Every structure is written in C-alpha cells, then in structure tokens.
Amino acid sequence: MQTVRKTAQTLAGHLLVFVQGLVLTPIVIKVAGPETYGAYVLLISYMGIMFGISSMGVGISAKRWLPSASNAEERASRFYPQFWFQILSTSFLGLLSVAVYVVLFASSKKWFPGFSAWLVPAYLLSYTLYSQSTDYFRYTHRVGIYNVFTVAQSYLFVTLAIGVFWTTRILDIESLIASLTMASAMVGGLLLIRIYSEIGLQWRLPERAGLGREIKLGFPLVLVFLVDVILSGGDRYIIAVMLSVRDVGIYTPAYALGSLAMVLHRVFGVVLPPLIAQRIDADDLPGAKKLSTGAANVLLLVTIPYVVGAAILGKEVLRLYANNEVAEAAWPVVSIVALASIFYGLMLIKANVLFVRLKTGALFQINLISAVLNILLNIVLLKVFNNVIVAAAATLVSYLFSYLILSHKLKGDTADFALNMSWLLRVVLCSAGMAMALILLTRTLVYQGGAAVVVGVLGGGATYGTLMLMQRPNRADLALLARSIRMR
C-alpha cells in the first residue's frame, strides 16, 4: 500500500503541475500573442538543455544508491559531491550562454527582443538548487515532500508572473523567466535548509578518479537526455527556423494538450526506478517484472481512451484553451501526439529497467537513432508540407521506432514487462464503445463551447468506466497499481 500511496501522491502532484501550464499558456497567448509564447518555449527549452548537460553524468551513482543509503553520513557523501559539481558546471554554462547570446541574438530582434541574457545564468543556478533539493527527497523515498514542493514551485511561478503583469501591465519573456527564476530559488532554498538539518553541509567535490568513472558511467545518460529533448521538443526549433516563431506558439499548445496523458509517464519515472532497483537488489526479479507490467497495464488503461477523446473533442478544447487561430491550424496535432504518448510511455517503462541495470550505453544508442530519425522527418516533412501538423507525425513515428528497438533490446530480460494482449483488447473495445457514445453526444447536444466539452468528457468517461467494470471476470486488472505493483 505504500507504493500505491506514493504513486497516487505523485500523480496528483504532476496533474497539478500540468494544470499550472494550462493556466499560464492561454494567458500568455491571449495577452502577449503566439510570438511571445513561442519565444518563451524556445528559450526555456534551451535553458533546459543547458541544465540537462551540466551534470556531465555526475550524479548517477547518487540517484542509484541513495534509495539504499542507511544513515546521514552515507547520504551526505553521495549527495554533496555531485551537488557542488553541478553548481560549478551550471555557472560556467550560464556565463558561456551569455557570450553566445551577445554574439548571435543581442543585435537581432528576430526571436528574443528585449531579453537580458544575464537571466540565463541566474535561472540555471536557481533551477539547479531546486532540482537537486527535490531530487534528494525523491531518491530518499520522501515523495510526499518532493510532490508538495514541485507543485509549490510551479504555482509560485504562475503567481509571480501574474503579479508582475498585474503591477506593470507587462507580460514578456523576460518577466516570465525572471518569475520562474525567483520561484525556483525560493523553493530550492527552503528545501536546502531542510537538507542541512538532516545531513549538514559539506564542501566536497568528486575525487578525480571517481569523477572519471562517474562521467564514463553517467555521460551516456546525458546524451540520452539530449536526444530525448530532440525527440520531445527539438521540433520547436526546426519549426522556428523553417517556418516562424509564431508557428511554434501555435504548435506548442496543441502538443501540450495531446501530451496530457504523459503526466502518468512522469509519475512512473519518479516512482518506478527506486522500486525496481530495490527488487533487483533483493534478487526479486518476479517482483520487478510485476512492477513494470502493472505500470504498462495502467498506462494502456489511461492513454488509449485519451487518444479517442482527443480525436473527437480536441479541436473544441484547443479553441477554449488557446484561441480560434490555434485550433483551426493545429487541432490534428492533439490526437497525433496523444497516440504518440502511448509508445512514449511504454518506452519509458522499458528505459527504467535499462537504467536500473545501468545499461546507459544501450539507452543512448536507441535514443540517438530515434532522434536522428525525428530530425530528418521534421526537416523533410516541413519542407514539403509547410505545416506544423507533420511535426506531430514525425514525433509519432520516432516514439514508435524507439519502443520497437527497446523491446528488441530487452527481449528475454526477466524484469521487463510483456504486453497483456487480452487486457489490451478489452481496453481497445471499451474505448471504441466510448467513441460511439462521444459521437452521439456531440451530434445531439444543444450545448456549445465549454459546456459541450464538459458534457462530452463526463459522458465519455462514464461510458468507458462502465464498459470496463462490466468485464467482471477481469476486475482484478482494474485494481491498477494497488494490486499490480503492491509492495511484497
């Protein structure tokens, strides 16, 4: 039951964070326009890449072994060396980014007009404090603290951004990044005080010999991160170069709605690795397989009907979420990305198994091939069709390809899941029944706008839930994570 509680807490936290994005995006688009939102997406993606590579792979041992650390001294010896290394690394990358910005963008108003480059190192440092402190509690099994402060950072950011706009009537990329920087610094600072009370404060950099081993082991994961960024967000940069920043602002809200189901994937990314690691360390391979199989079953239970709902209601939801221009131009993106999220989620579950087994090289090879495919498809399709919808199609093909390669790579691994075809068929059939109910509702309703969406979601969800519950011989499957990944 402890696993179920942690999973439920993490799911609730990630849903709240996603809702924060739902609140901010339409405000930025409607107040400042798609161009400002597109520029913000590009800039925050760049800084995310800088943060992601800043560790150079240092910290993988801390993440792998903190779950089993038994005392404060052991936790401190694992946490602080990689913490200080990343602080120094992000400082360097932040200053380097300022120099690059001055050379490439300072004299141009094409993408980031009026933005101060010094916000980049400030943001990187504050986000490092926030990320390191939340990760400490994540990998020491305090997911309650992790979730509370993750949500706090997200909503503090929105509050600060709206407060700045309320006071100054200005909403631009500089005020957004400044608000996010302050929110990250405040939350990270509070958590570091808590960490200090537990394990003290140590100035300890990794030893030179250990640093080399750590980078050799962890750097492939940095490369995995980079290619994963290309898979999940690199299309924004290609769209900006080949089309415009405005098209980025049109594409991103549709992508965000389509990827709503990926909230569940992020939950599994938080909960599963330490639990699978514990099972494997205890030589409980059937327990590890049960965890990954249960996660896959729950993922299919949620994502398949979401694809159906996105296909039928996506355009109207996008119109309410953003505006008519975005809805008319990008509504197919919602359902295509929703379909891609199924393969992305299954891929991540398999990747968790590879991570626990420390097969980082294999992860990198698979993601690199998929990233190259994604880039080539985006360039060719955008050149030919000149439409953001094809970027979503490229994402779908890339995720499907990654899933198939990972399945082949993990073939025979006793901790990996195997798709339950009977369960998959039931979910598909019940989703088809939900689709018919949604079509009938949308054709007969007298409601319009938000009311129609609410009625459609409630009616479709009720139909799907009823059809699933009617499968009485298999109701044990519907116990979700409570029975699929219960602590043994």
> Can you spell out the DSSP letters for 235-303?
HHHHHHHHT-HHHHHHHHHHHHHHTTTHHHHHHHHHHHHHHHHHHHHTT-HHHHHHHHHHHHHHHHHHH
Widest CA span of the chain, in angstroms? 70
| Phi then psi dihedrals of residue 30, to 5 deg | -80, -30
Tokens of 205: 């950099």
> For every one of its 488 residues, what pLDDT tens digit does the chain have, with 9 covering 90 and above?
455 565 566 666 656 666 666 677 778 877 877 888 888 888 888 898 898 888 887 877 777 777 666 787 778 878 888 889 899 999 999 999 888 877 776 655 566 777 788 899 999 999 999 999 988 888 777 777 877 888 888 889 989 998 988 898 888 888 999 999 999 999 999 999 998 988 888 888 877 767 777 777 777 777 767 766 766 677 888 998 898 888 988 998 899 889 887 777 777 776 777 778 778 878 888 888 888 888 899 899 999 999 999 999 999 888 888 788 888 989 999 999 999 999 988 988 888 888 777 776 777 778 788 888 888 999 999 999 999 999 999 999 988 998 898 888 888 787 788 888 889 999 999 999 999 998 888 777 655 667 778 888 888 889 999 998 886 544 444 444 444 444 33
Cα torsion at 200, 204, 205, 207 (round to 10°)? -130
The confidence score (pLDDT) of residue 265 equals 72
| Phi then psi dihedrals of residue 420, to 5 deg | -85, 100
462/435 Cα distance (integer angstroms): 12
What lies within 8 Å, CB to CB, of 49 at 6+ separation is: 226, 229
255/373 Cα distance (integer angstroms): 19
Residue 98, SS3 per DSSP: helix
Tokens of 390: 């094809």
